[in-house]
Each structure stands twice: as structure tokens, then as C-alpha cells.
Amino acid sequence: MPERLFVCTPSKLGAYADCPRRYRYSYVDRPAPSKGPPWAHNSLGASVHTALKNWYALPTDRRRPEVLPTLLKGTWVRDGYRDDEQERDAYRRALGWLEAYVGGLDPADEPLGVERVVAVKTGVLAFNGRADRIDSRPGEQGPELVIVDYKTGRTGLDTDDARGSQALALYAYAAERVFRRPCRRVELHHLPSGTVAAHEHTVESLARQVTRAEETARDIMAAERTVAEGGDPDDAFPTTPGPRCGWCDYRRTCPTGAALPGKEPWAAVERPTEPQVEQG
């Protein structure tokens, strides 16, 4: 019998790559351990992403900057902030980011997909993911697809971030097969700085990212088999101690994480902003 495909999303693969123990807490242990409190930076990112999704859902003649306060208020997630003052400050910043970003868009441009799910199967993976935006732009050989990912977290995104993003590469690989059009360009749109970090993949570089994802999937399936056969879950899914431990939802459950300093839920939206974990 052929080996079953590993059903995955970018976040599922990323959880294991960051820390196998975090993957175990999220996807293997049942019941799953309790998470810590919600993070303000996740609330902020979700609010901005949904506001942009709803902006594109409007008729073309209503896609104007003046609708943004209503859109953002309607999508605003209040969880994780230190107090009302910090939350209001975050809202004002988010609105400013959106107004600047939307001001540079052509309302008549209609993306091929907004929050669009794309899926693909390989010899190992059954991958699916939700791309923030998929554009169709003119190319040398006809229309080409571009994967756009919004970022509201840490600054300093550059071409290395775009080139190294496995999630963006898998979105591009899947979108090319779903829509049967070339999809090689991936872009990180960093709203706080108004910058775009882009990379042009090749067939070979996309294939390398798929191979990396398949290798991760094989490692995960091997660890899951070990646990199913009675092996020690801690040995099968070891910890990867590091700065990310302070931001982990399961830090209080994990003996390694609990011994390290933790971050306050609102720390990533403080002024001046501390270094932040990357958000989707």
C-alpha cells in the first residue's frame, strides 16, 4: 500500500520546523494542552488582514480610503492589549498603515483571489493554504500570477525573507497548478514601513522548497509513528530552545519553555516596538 499523504498547511509545517515539541502540543497531544493568553500582535495582524479582505469585497466605486475606519472597526480584535490606551494607539497605527497602503492601490485592479485557498498534492504532501492575495499581472509570455502576503510585524523584511519563505513558495507552487498559469513571483507587503520585499522563483527553486517541505513531513510522520508505537513523546518531539520560547503559546506547559523568560501578551506592540515574531 502506498504511504498516506501528509495533510498540511504552512503553519503546520512551520510549527515543526520551529520546534517539534510545539508541533506535538498543537497537533498530536489530545486533549491538547491549554494555550497561554492571546497575543496583541496576533489580534492586530488579524484585524488588518480582515480589513483588507473586506476592502476588496466592496464594489470598485466604494474602494476609497475613507471607508477604512468603518472596515477596521468592524474587524477589530481587542484581545491581548495591556490596556485601553495601548489598544487605541494600536488602532490608530493600523488605520494609518491601511490608509497609506490603500492609497497606493488602484481600486479597479481586481485580484484573482483574496484569502484564496490553494491546494496541491505531491508524492508526500496534501498541501492546502490560504493566500492573502493572488494577483494576475502581465508577463513576457502572458498573464502571470503573483503571491502577495501582508505583514504587520517586525521591520527589516528584505529579499532574503521573501526568497526563504517556504509558505510563499508553496502557495506559488500550488497556485500555478490550480490556475494553470506561471506563478514565480512572491511578495511580502510590510504595511508599517510601506515596503515590498520580493523574489522571483525559478522552477528549480520552487522544487527545492517543495522537497524541503516533504522532508519535514517525513520527519513528522516518523515521529508520530514512534509515539503511536509506544515510544517516548518527549524523545520523538524534542524541544528547540531559543528566543521563540518566550512567544510560545505552550510555554507554561513545556518544561524547557517554562524555565525561560516569557513575553507579556502586549510586548510586541509596545512603543518602541521590540523585535517581533513574524506574523501571517
User: Cβ neighbours of residue 272 under 8 Å, at least 6 residues apart?
Assistant: none
User: Cβ neighbours of residue 56 under 8 Å, at least 6 residues apart?
Assistant: 63, 111, 114, 133
131 and 176 in a single domain? The answer is yes
157 and 184 in a single domain? The answer is yes
Residue 277 lies in a domain: no
Domain final position from 53, 68, 103? 103
How many folded domains does the chain comprise?
A: 3
Residue 275 lies in a domain: no
Domain final position from 80, 103, 126? 103
Q: For the segment 54-79, what is each residue's pLDDT rounded down to a tens digit? A: 999 999 999 999 999 999 999 999 99
Confidence of residue 104 (pLDDT cuts 50, 70, 90): very high
Q: For the segment 76-91, what is each residue's pLDDT rounded down to a tens digit? A: 999 999 999 999 999 9
Q: Residue 214 has what pLDDT?
A: 98
Domain final position from 103, 128, 143? 103
Residue 274 lies in a domain: no
251 and 193 in a single domain? The answer is no
Residue 226 lies in a domain: yes
Q: Model-level pTM?
A: 0.92
Q: How far is the C-alpha of 25 from the C-alpha of 186, rounded, in Å?
A: 31
Cβ atoms of 268 and 274 within 8 Å: the answer is yes
Q: Is 274 a residue whose pLDDT tops 60? A: no
232: DSSP letter:
-
Cα radius of gyration rounded to whole Å, the chain? 20
Which structural domain, as residue segments, surrounds residue 66? 40-103
141: DSSP letter:
T
Cβ atoms of 146 and 135 within 8 Å: the answer is yes
Q: For the segment 168-209, what is each residue's pLDDT rounded down to a tens digit? A: 999 999 999 999 999 999 999 999 999 999 999 999 999 999
134 and 184 in a single domain? The answer is yes
18 and 85 in a single domain? The answer is no
